[in-house]
Every structure is written in structure tokens, then in C-alpha cells.
Structure 1
Amino acid sequence: MARRVAKPGQARGKQYARFTKGGFTFETDQGFETTLLHSGEVRALVAAKTSELAGKMIKAAPRGPHRFTDEFSIKKNITPYVEQVGTEWVGYVVIEENERARHAMLQERGYRDPAGHRHKGRFFFKRVLESERVE
């Protein structure tokens, strides 16, 4: 009985590999990374890390001088959210969705007031991002 051997460059057909934890079936043609990055576990991980980063930014942000309400303070206007962009889950930390809030980036980088006085920046967001950097 003659055995058929695939020639170089000839496809052998689809091959499957089974991942034992979680019951994923990966097609090697597609690449397991694509299937894994679309999974709900990766989304949950990205959401957890994004909300952890947003929590650190909220903690580092200055309190506003608002006497009656904190509706427009920086701390109340930092929100995390996750969305799928192309083939990946991406986490965002949005600062100041409320257009009436005072400007967090002016507090961050500094500004010049109408009288011409320079106010130096506090760099609280930069410190949080630098502490989370992976080297």
C-alpha cells in the first residue's frame, strides 16, 4: 500500500490544536493569537487594568475648589471604558467628558491666567502613567 506524501508547498489541510483550559479550539491557519485576543477573558483583563489605571488617576487628581457641588471637578470626570478596535480590545481613560468641567490638562501642564501670571503644572497624570510603564 503506497502512502501519499505531501509535496513542498502543497497544503495538508486544516490542522486543529486543542487548548485544555477553557475548551478553546484553535485553527492553526488563523493563528491562536487572533482567537485568544477576541475572547471575553482578554476583554475582562483589559477592563480590569483600565479601571485600575483610572482609579489611580482619580486618586492623584486634585480636588476642585467647588463649594456646593463636585459636578465639575476633575475627579468626577475621569471614566474608563473598553472597546474593540480592529482585532484587539483597547482600554481608554477619558478625562473631562463634561465640557463644563475645569480643564484638567491646564492643571497638568500649567497655564497663564488672564492677568499674565504663569501657573506651573502639577503633572499628576504623567506621574501615574510613568509609574504604570513596563520596561
Structure 2
Amino acid sequence: MARRVAQSGQARGKQNIRFQKGGFTFATDQGFETKLMHSGPVKALVAEKAGRLAARMVKAAPLGPHVTTDEYAIKKNIHPYVEMVGDEWVGFVVVEENEHARHAMLQERGYRDRAGRRHRGRFFMKQVLESERVT
């Protein structure tokens, strides 16, 4: 292809690509992907996906023995966040932001109580993440 361009006498500089529908033109050397990833609709899409994932984790989280308050329950401490990382929006699901909350990772992977008995994990976060993956 490079030989064909050189033979026709055209310089290899800025090359615009024109779409057939709507007459939209963009320059390939300006990084249209970066502009697209910075846009508001992409942020909204990432926020919606992170929120949906957080809601599924809240639904799957185990109930706590909190009789008087739910402030420290796992379900109340799962939140979605969206922030700019590099050149793109990234969605996070934060579990147990409150340091006084019931330990979600102990419920996830299991633990030994003070008597030495092993309690197996519930793997609620792993199950939600596995169900969301693309195969």
C-alpha cells in the first residue's frame, strides 16, 4: 500500500476519513478514540454498568446480625465509583469502605472463629463477577 501511495505522488500526511452517512469527517491522527472515551455518554454508560454490578453484589451479600443498626452491614458498604484513569473512564465497585463494617472478605473466602472451627466462604462477589464476564 505504501508503494502505491508513493507512486501516485500523494504525500503521507494528514489523512481524513469520510463516513457515508451524515457527512461526518474525522482526522485519524487526532485520536478520535480518546475524544470518544472522554465524552459524557461514555461516562454515563460506565456509571450505569458499575451501578448495576454494585446492585447485584448488594443483592448477593449476606445478611448481618445487626439488630439495632445496619450502618456496619456489608450491604450498606458496597458502592460504585467512576473516575478517569489515564485516557478513559473506569468504573469501580468498592466493598467495605467503612473500616468498622463487618469484614466482607472474611465472608467471601471463609474464616476460622476463636474456637478454631472453619467457616467456609460464601463467594458472593466471585459469583457476581463470574456471571458478568464475557465468554
TM over 0.5: yes
User: 1:113 deviation in Å?
Assistant: 1.1
User: 1:84 deviation in Å?
Assistant: 0.6
**Cα separation, 1, equivalents of 2:24 and 2:35:** 9
Distance 1:67 1:25, change over 3 A: farther
Distance 1:123 1:13, change over 3 A: closer
User: 1:24 deviation in Å?
Assistant: 7.5
Partner of 1:81: 81
- 1:68 to 2:68 alignment: yes
CA contact under 8 A between 2:16 and 2:25: conserved in structure 1? no
CA contact under 8 A between 2:14 and 2:29: conserved in structure 1? no
User: 1:19 deviation in Å?
Assistant: 9.2
CA contact under 8 A between 1:110 and 1:119: conserved in structure 2? yes
Runs of 4 or more consecutive aligned structure 1 residues displaced over 2 Å after TM superposition: 10-21, 23-27
Q: After the TM superposition, which residues 1-135 of structure 1 pair with which residues of structure 2 at under 5 Å, given as runs?
A: 5-6=9-10, 10-13=11-14, 15=16, 17=18, 26-135=26-135
Q: How many residues align?
A: 128
**Cα separation, 1, equivalents of 2:110 and 2:100:** 19
Secondary structure at the counterpart of residue 98 of structure 1: coil
CA contact under 8 A between 1:43 and 1:89: conserved in structure 2? yes
TM-score (norm 2): 0.84
State the Cα deviation string for residues 52-106 of structure 1 (Å, max 9, x = none).
0000000000111001000000000000010010011100000011000010000
TM-score (norm 1): 0.84
User: 1:30 deviation in Å?
Assistant: 2.3
**Identity over aligned residues, as a percent?**
66
State the Cα deviation string for residues 3-24 of structure 1 (Å, max 9, x = none).
x932xxx433353647968x97
RMSD over aligned CA atoms reads 2.2
CA contact under 8 A between 1:37 and 1:87: conserved in structure 2? yes
